[in-house]
């Protein structure tokens, strides 16, 4: 019985940290945590790359909005 459950259990144990990583990346760039966590649970491997692409796009848009001015330095404990 355990032989049949073991692959799914290992996949689940890998899925949860990837979903948390996806949600953290998105949250640190101004997105909401829960929708990205659910996306990470639904698309465990792909969602990390989607979150990284959203983070890169967020940084590019912020730089364009500043008009070439240097980025402000965040206070300790604040997200960019």
The encoded tokens of residue 29 equal 């760039």
Per-residue pLDDT of the chain (80 residues; tens, 9 = 90+): 677 888 888 888 889 999 999 999 999 888 899 999 999 999 988 999 999 999 999 888 888 888 877 777 777 777 65
* Residue 74 burial (CB count, 10 A): 9
CB of 72 within 8 A of CB of 80? no
Q: What pLDDT, on a 0 to 100 scale, did the predictor assign at position 79?
A: 66
Q: Where are the domains of the chain?
A: 20-63
Distance between CA atoms of residues 62 and 56, nearest Å? 10
pLDDT of residue 44: 83
């Amino acid at each position: 019985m355990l032989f049949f459950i073991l692959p799914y259990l290992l996949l689940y144990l890998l899925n949860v940290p990837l979903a948390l990583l996806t949600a953290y990346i998105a949250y640190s760039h101004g997105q909401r945590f829960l929708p990205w966590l659910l996306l990470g649970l639904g698309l465990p491997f792909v969602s990390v790359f989607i979150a990284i692409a959203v983070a890169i796009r967020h940084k590019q848009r912020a730089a364009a909005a500043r008009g070439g001015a240097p980025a402000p330095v965040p206070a300790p404990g604040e997200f960019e």
